[in-house]
Amino acid sequence: MVAGCVLIAVWADQLVAPGGWATPQALALTHILALGFATSVMAGVLYQMLPVILGSRPARARVARLVWWCFLASTAIFTGTLASGRDDLAPVGGIALTVAILGITAHAGSVMRRATRWNVVALYLVIALGCLDAIAVMGAILAVSLRTGMLEDPLALLAPKILLAVGGWLGLVLVGVSYQLVPQFNVSAARARWAWQVLGLLVSGLLLGVVAVSVHLAAPLRVAALVPYGAGAGFYLHDVIRLTRARGRPAASGITPIGQVAAAVVFVVAALAALPAIAGMQPWPQVAVTSALLGWAPLAISANGARIIPFLAWTRAGVPGAAPLAADRIPVRPGVVQLTLLGTGWLFLETGILTQSPGLARVGAVLSLLGALALPTLIALALRGRFVRRASSTRGSHLGPDRR
């Protein structure tokens, strides 16, 4: 994300100009954020959460590390070829990236085969992984076709690929993981009301949208096809608000519920922005995609990471009596500042895109950059015991010099 924000600030003039979405810089930037940032985090979340959700033994860590390094190397190669405009090298990076992504899903599949229980969250993640595989294969075909002419119009794959990537892979992982973490982190007394309905609306809207853009339906029909997705986003926001409002005393304060609601709000905004985007109205496709990659994704990652990352560090270091997962570790004020930087940066960036203002886009990129850097800083301070918290939240949470 840091690299993406820096590149937005550098390339702002080209990115916000008419037709800027089709430049090599825009393609490289999109893949840096979608693969290097969002997919890397989501894959890590799946490695951690799938065994918990499915009641299964984790897959081998050595294989996961190998897949990770392959994914990292192939992402660097592929985005480098896109940024340089070297279509002749794109097939190499595209095929390597496809193999690495299939390795991620194969790793997840090995966990699923040993599952002892299934629920709606697991179904969200299964469908999301299917979208990820489809994206990988489509990306490889697109990269090879740009060089060899295998397809008569390879760019026809671009719109379905974007829908599956943003609305399918990232969207379904966000919503599915939220239905697991929001009630857990908030010790919520309420239960999710619309989880199954949201899944049905998101998947039906996604599939209808992919079909609509693939067969080149008229703009009003394309918009109508995507309406169920927007409805699903609205019901998801309603569930998140209900679950956070019913949070228990251990989670009464902290930035996690604030960030979870903020991420859900931006998710709804992105779903609404997708309606004019699928109709072909510029620059709404850029608004919808950047609202996902630099809007709800960073907000959701920050909100949940503020609790789960310190918890994992403490438990894996063997700290006795570490604070429970629902306890907040980062004080509200600095945490809200970090979320505000991300939210304000997103607003400035989208305003810059809509008004074709490179200056506003740069301001948004800088604010998002500061927000991205603030999260690991706050977590590091929490792990070192720099934040003084009430005794019930900090007992046993300080790492000694031999356990840091």
- Fill in the amino acid letter for 158: L
State pLDDT tens for residues 297-328.
999 999 998 888 877 777 666 555 555 555 55
State pLDDT tens for residues 115-170.
999 999 999 999 999 999 999 999 888 888 877 777 777 778 889 999 999 999 99
Res. 182: pLDDT tops 80: yes
The answer as to whether 250 is a domain residue is yes
State pLDDT tens for residues 235-290.
999 999 999 998 876 555 578 899 999 999 999 999 999 999 999 998 999 999 99
Q: Are 33 and 293 in contact (CB under 8 A)?
A: yes
Task: Compute the distance between CA of residue 197 and CA of residue 398 in angstroms, rounded to an integer.
Answer: 43
DSSP state of 163: I
The answer as to whether 400 is a domain residue is no
Task: Compute the distance between CA of residue 194 and CA of residue 378 in angstroms, rounded to an integer.
Answer: 34
The answer as to whether 65 is a domain residue is yes
DSSP string for 318-375: T-TTPPPTTS--S-HHHHHHHHHHHHHHHHHHHHHHHHT-HHHHHHHHHHHHHHHHHH
The mean pLDDT of 216-231, rounded to a whole number, is: 96
The answer as to whether 220 is a domain residue is yes
State pLDDT tens for residues 62-72.
888 888 899 99
pLDDT-wise least confident of 35-39, 164-168, 380-384, 386-390: 386-390
How many domains, in total, are found in the chain?
Answer: 1
Q: In Å, how far from its chain's centre is CA 32? A: 13
State pLDDT tens for residues 371-385.
999 999 988 887 776
Q: Using DSSP, state whether 265 is helix, strand or coil.
A: helix
The answer as to whether 231 is a domain residue is yes
* CA dist 290 → 5, 187, 336 (Å): 11, 32, 22
The answer as to whether 401 is a domain residue is no
- Crossing angle of helices 2-16 and 332-355, rounded to 10°: 20
Domain range for residue 77?
Answer: 2-388
Q: Is the pTM of this model over 0.85?
A: yes
* CA dist 328 → 94, 239, 358, 381, 386 (Å): 41, 22, 38, 13, 14
Give the domain CATH number at 171.
1.20.210.10
State pLDDT tens for residues 63-116.
888 888 999 999 988 888 888 877 677 788 888 889 999 999 998 988 998 899
The answer as to whether 402 is a domain residue is no
Torsion (CA) 210, 297, 234, 243 in degrees, nearest 10: 140
The answer as to whether 176 is a domain residue is yes
